[in-house]
C-alpha cells in the first residue's frame, strides 16, 4: 500500500511541474508541450514563451540549436539535446543516399543560437526563408524539441493532416497500440 501511495505522490509532483511550466523532466531530458502563437519582430527575432524560460535556462544555459525539417518548419533544440541528435546522425552510414540527404539538411542548416536578455532568439534569414516565416508563427512543443511554423502554413498543414487521417483507416502497428 505504501508503494502505491509513493507512486501517486511522485506522479502528482510531475503533473504540477508540467502544469506550471509546460515542461517536465523525463529520463534526464526535458519534455516540451503545447502550442504557442508568436510574433517575429522586424529583425527576425521571436520571444520565447514565459512558461519555458526557466527550464530552458536550466537545461542548456540559454544555448539552442535551430535547424530545418523536411516538412518545411524549423526545429529548435536545447544544445545538450542537439548534441545527442548530432552524434546519432553522424553515426549513420553516409554511404546511404537518404542518410546523406538528412545529414545535409539537419547538420548543414544547424545554427547555434543564444537567447538574449529579453528571452528572444534571432532566426537567421536562411532559416526564416526555408520555413517561409513571416510575422506570425506557431511554436509547437514536441517533447525534446520545438517546431516553429509560419502560422498560415501550420493551419493548412493541420487541416491536411486531419483530412488524410479521416480518409485513411490504415494504422501503423505502433499507432494501433496507442490509446488516446
Domain 20-167 has CATH 3.40.1180.10: no
Structure confidence at residue 68 (pLDDT): 96
Structure confidence at residue 1 (pLDDT): 37
**What is the sign of the dihedral through the CA atoms of 125, 128, 133 and 137?**
negative
Helix (H, G, I), strand (E, B) or coil at 60: helix
Structure confidence at residue 165 (pLDDT): 77
* Mean pLDDT within 130-142: 96
Give the separation between CA 91 and CA 162, rounded to whole angstroms: 35
Count the neighbouring beta carbons within 10 Å of the beta carbon of residue 83.
13
Q: Does residue 125 register a pLDDT over 90?
A: yes
Give 7-51 pLDDT, tens digit per residue: 333 333 333 334 444 444 444 556 789 999 999 999 999 999 999
Residue 85 and residue 143 in contact, taking contact as beta carbons nearer than 8 Å: no
DSSP structure class, residue 123: P
Q: Does residue 62 register a pLDDT over 80?
A: yes
What the block records as the C-alpha cell of 39 is 510574433
Answering whether pTM is above 0.95, one says no
Give 81-105 pLDDT, tens digit per residue: 999 999 999 999 989 999 999 999 9
Q: Does residue 2 register a pLDDT over 70?
A: no
Amino acid at each position: 500500500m505504501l508503494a502505491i501511495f509513493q507512486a501517486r505522490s511522485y506522479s502528482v509532483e510531475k503533473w504540477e511541474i508540467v502544469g506550471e511550466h509546460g515542461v517536465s523532466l523525463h529520463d534526464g531530458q526535458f519534455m516540451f508541450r503545447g502550442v504557442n502563437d508568436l510574433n517575429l519582430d522586424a529583425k527576425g527575432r521571436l520571444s520565447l514563451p514565459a512558461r519555458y524560460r526557466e527550464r530552458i535556462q536550466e537545461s542548456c544555459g540559454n544555448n539552442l540549436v535551430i535547424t530545418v525539417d523536411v516538412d518545411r518548419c524549423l526545429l529548435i533544440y536545447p544544445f545538450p539535446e542537439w548534441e545527442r541528435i548530432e552524434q546519432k546522425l553522424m553515426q549513420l552510414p553516409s554511404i546511404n543516399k537518404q542518410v546523406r540527404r538528412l545529414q545535409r539538411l539537419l547538420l548543414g542548416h544547424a545554427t547555434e543560437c543564444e537567447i538574449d536578455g529579453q528571452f528572444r532568439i534571432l532566426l537567421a534569414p536562411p532559416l526564416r526563408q526555408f520555413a517561409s516565416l513571416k510575422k506570425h508563427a506557431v511554436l509547437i512543443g514536441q517533447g525534446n524539441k520545438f517546431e516553429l511554423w509560419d502560422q498560415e502554413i501550420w493551419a493548412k498543414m493541420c487541416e491536411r493532416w486531419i483530412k488524410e487521417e479521416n480518409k485513411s483507416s490504415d494504422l501503423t502497428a505502433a499507432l494501433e497500440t496507442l490509446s488516446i
